[in-house]
Chains A and B, each alone.
Chain A
Amino acid sequence: MVSELNVPALTIKPVAVSPGGAAWITLCRDLRLGFRRQAELINPPLFFLIVVTLFPLGISPDPAFLAKLAPGVIWIAALLATLLAMDSLFRGDYEDGALDLLLIVPQPLFMHVLAKVTAHWLLTGLPLLVLAPILALMLSLPSQAYTTLIASLALGTPLLSLLGAIGAALTVGIRRGGMLLSLLILPLYIPVLLLGTGAVVAASEGLPAAGQLLWLAVLLTLGLTLAPFAIAAGLKITASG
């Protein structure tokens, strides 16, 4: 058969890296890219800081009043900062063709998606956690609520990244989709906001906040299991159109 066609027959050997290994490569690449663009790295925490500064200026600098406001203000600012950073998650890859390559890798797409969201959270979400205690201090949040604030942000912001990534995947093909992304995703952020602020408010009043934190953990687990599939489905749809 081979000689008949007068072409060399090809032996097909499997060519692939394990899903975990490939996802690790994606994670490292995105982190490296993030660190090469340091100017962009600083934007979300800076935005977080400025938005929080606006509240005492716009409402009242009274410490007692600010202390009541602090959980909500910090959470809303964190939510907006995460959201603003979200648009860049897939857009760069979409524009330079890297997203196409990601869609045809021999490993399951959701692993790569999870790696990308993780890298994105490490670059944009984690700095907010570091900054949060300083902002809490500026807003005179009672000191007993600090641990809860950090814990709620640590559980909540990855969830915000996962939900936001669904929106980013669905709007990636749309020019100037950033505004649309906010419209799609903000309603979905509401439970996270309610639980997050609820936990910090409870802690600042000296009440136990474990219930709210556990609920956040439940939602995070749910998000980690389901969101990557929604993101992958969204990417396949919008990038192939």
Chain B
Amino acid sequence: MNWTWFHKLGSPKWFYEISSRWLPWLVILSLLLLVTGVVWGLAFAPAERFQGNSYRIIYIHVPAAFLAQATYVFMAIAGGVGLIWRMKMAEIAASCCAPIGASFTLLALLTGAIWGKPTWGAWWVWDARLTSMLILLFLYLGFMALQAAIDNKKTAARASAVLALVGLVNIPIIKYSVDWWFTLHQTASIKLTEKPAMPAEMYYPLFICLAGFYCFFAVVLILRLRAEILHREHKTGWVKALMSNKC
């Protein structure tokens, strides 16, 4: 197997150059997907039998919740790669992921609360999914707090990578224990996402939204990475050359 792409990916300069070519296409793609998905979901998909129109928030809530979890996994893997192979880009990627993931988690929590009001009659109920989401938010905030507390950037990246990996091992344990705890105390009968036999007209736009969220994530991540690369490499020749060309 050819590993050159992997080594290339480790070079901030190479990533900075290649990502400027990817970025416009990704922006267009994510706009296209998000607009299609959201307009279809909010305006054209049929109303739900029991919840009426209030269910339409799933077109934001479900992709946000999906991305919140996927980002953590991505962050932990990037952190692990950075730890094991001392790959600079992976370290940077892990630290750039955290605020994005935390934002998705917050979005999922907020939309969950907004949905909860008409569905359960309360802004917050201790639903298993919402509780797991809240704990995930705590994990993100802990990661960011640790990174901010250590002055040395290398040490900060490595220490928080260890934390992310520990979190990754713990997430399934947390999730299952919260689910189990919820079945003991279960009161609410409607679950947020498990729809019995959702018709195709409802979930096609959901898939499009999901794909749109993934592209959006990629766009935001690349933007953050590029900013971070410039910040970290500001002493190197290629960044100085780049800056003097632009000025």
Contact = CB atoms under 8 A, between A and B. Distances in A.
Given A174-B150, A177-B149, A191-B174, A238 B165 contact: no
> Which range contains the number of A residues in contact with the other chain?
20 to 34
B44 interface: no
A160 to B, nearest CB: 13
**Among A170, A198, A233, residue most surrounded by chain B Cβ atoms (within 10 Å):** A170
B189 interface: no
B178 A170 contact: no
Contacts of A238: 150, 155, 159
B142 A187 contact: yes
B162 interface: yes
Given A190-B177, A191-B174, A198-B181, A184 B146 contact: yes
Interface string B61-98: 00000000000000000000001000000000000000
A241 B150 CA distance: 9
A212 to B, nearest CB: 9
B87 to A, nearest CB: 16
Given A194-B178, A241-B150, A183 B145 contact: yes
Given A173-B155, A230-B165, A188 B170 contact: yes
B141 interface: yes
Contact of A190 (B149, B150, B166, B174): B174
Nearest to B149: A174
A234 B162 contact: yes
Contacts of A187: 135, 138-139, 142, 167, 170, 174
A158 B220 CA distance: 41
Contact of B162 (A170, A191, A194, A219): A170
B135 A190 contact: yes
B155 A183 contact: no
A42 interface: no
A241 B162 CA distance: 15
Contact of B155 (A184, A226, A237): A237
Contacts of B142: 183-184, 187
A190 B178 contact: yes
B135 A194 contact: no
A176 to B, nearest CB: 9
Interface in A180-199: 180, 183-184, 186-188, 190-191, 194-195, 198
Interface of B: 83, 135, 138-139, 141-142, 145-146, 149-150, 152, 154-155, 158-159, 162-163, 165-167, 169-170, 173-174, 177-178, 180-181, 184
Given A171-B149, A187-B138, A188-B170, 12 more contacts: A166-B162, A170-B162, A177-B149, A184-B163, A187-B167, A191-B174, A230-B162, A233-B162, A237-B158, A238-B155, A238-B159, A241-B150
Interface of A: 166, 170-171, 173-174, 177, 180, 183-184, 186-188, 190-191, 194-195, 198, 219, 226, 230, 233-234, 237-238, 240-241
22 contacts: A166-B166, A171-B146, A173-B155, A180-B149, A183-B142, A183-B145, A187-B138, A187-B142, A187-B170, A190-B177, A191-B170, A191-B173, A191-B177, A194-B177, A198-B180, A230-B162, A234-B162, A237-B155, A237-B162, A238-B150, A240-B155, A241-B154
